[in-house]
Amino acid sequence: MLRFCVLAAALAGAVAACLVCTTTGPWAAEARGGQGLVPVKLDFPKAIPIPSPKNFRPNEHQEPPPPADARPPQLLAPDGATNIALKKPVTSSDDSPIHGEHAQLTDGDKRGTEDTVLELGPGRQWVQIDLKGKHNIHGVVVWHFRPALRYYHDVVVQVADDPDFIANVRTLFNSDYDNSSGLGIGKDREYMETHHGRVIPCKDIAAAYVRLYSRGSTENDMNHYVEVEVYGTPAR
């Protein structure tokens, strides 16, 4: 009987301890399967129908064109997470863009019209956002171009602690399926440009800089960026 009581008490204690941990600890949200994270209110530009070829098939490294009535993607982040990239300084691998200015990348205007696109030269190029200090990042959203029948190649999104991307570099997204950009083989799929852009969630990653690579598209050799948003909170 005593044994039974001890076992029951130990079991009850363990359950109680688990309950306390999962409801109050810093890992509480994860342990509860995302509780504590709330959907970020993403502001998508107006949808434009894309004419796509007949019988367009998906494959393991390229997504098919999404349906016209596709639901907007969701990004979960802690309550209070904001676009920490807004109005932050931008640099790129192309000092003299073909048109547009670096500041347009984080100016909040994502209409995708001619005058809101930053166009960088041919081949592999990158843009980089200085978050002005370490932040806990929960997701990146990128719009390369207005909705169009085009796939950008070798889209790679990385974060790091230093502007030269030497210290603590982490890759959040990589669609370079053949390592043609030399940043390693990626497991993500190339996608068609839509008004939803690409939402890239990540799990509370602390970094001070965000860098996005691309290497032209199926349409031309240039690299375009309409807007990049980074959702997060100041580093704890």
CA angle 207, 208, 209 (to 5 degrees): 100
Q: Is 107 in the site for other proteins (CB under 8 A)?
A: no
Strands of 144-197 (E only): list them: 156-160, 170-174
Q: Between residue 212 and residue 231, which ones bind other proteins under the rule CB under 8 A?
A: 216-222
3-class SS at 21? helix
C-beta of residue 227 within 8 angstroms of C-beta of residue 106: yes
Provide, rounded to whole angstroms, the least separation between the CB of residue 88 and other proteins. 24
- Of positions 3, 46, 54, 71, contacts other proteins by CB under 8 A: 54
Q: Is 111 in the site for other proteins (CB under 8 A)?
A: no
Maximum CA pair distance of the chain? 82
CA 70, CA 87: separation in Å to the nearest integer?
30
Nearest-Å Rg of the Cα atoms of the chain is: 21
Q: Is 121 in the site for other proteins (CB under 8 A)?
A: yes
Q: Which is nearer to other proteins, 144 or 153 (CB)?
A: 153
Residues 6+ apart with CB under 8 A from 4: none
Determine the interface stretch with other proteins among 26-34, 57-65, 72-80, 125-133 (rule: CB under 8 A).
Answer: 57-65
Determine the interface stretch with other proteins among 73-81, 84-92, 211-219, 227-235 (rule: CB under 8 A).
Answer: 211-219
Q: Which is nearer to other proteins, 54 or 71 (CB)?
A: 54
- Taking Cα atoms as reference points, which of 138, 135, 142 lies closest to residue 208? 135
CA 232, CA 229: separation in Å to the nearest integer?
10
Q: Is 67 in the site for other proteins (CB under 8 A)?
A: no
- Of positions 177, 209, 213, 225, contacts other proteins by CB under 8 A: 177
Q: Which is nearer to other proteins, 83 or 175 (CB)?
A: 175
- Taking Cα atoms as reference points, which of 177, 189, 173, 183 lies closest to residue 228? 173
- Taking Cα atoms as reference points, which of 157, 95, 170, 97 lies closest to residue 129? 157
Q: Is 122 in the site for other proteins (CB under 8 A)?
A: yes
- Per-residue contact flags (x/-) with other proteins for residues 130 to 159, judged by CB under 8 A: -------------------xxx-x------
CA 44, CA 66: separation in Å to the nearest integer?
15
Q: Is 53 in the site for other proteins (CB under 8 A)?
A: yes
Q: Between residue 156 and residue 175, which ones bind other proteins under the rule CB under 8 A?
A: 165-166, 169
Interface residues toward other proteins, by CB under 8 A: 51, 53-57, 59-62, 98-99, 114-115, 121-122, 149-151, 153, 165-166, 169, 177-179, 182-185, 190, 216-222
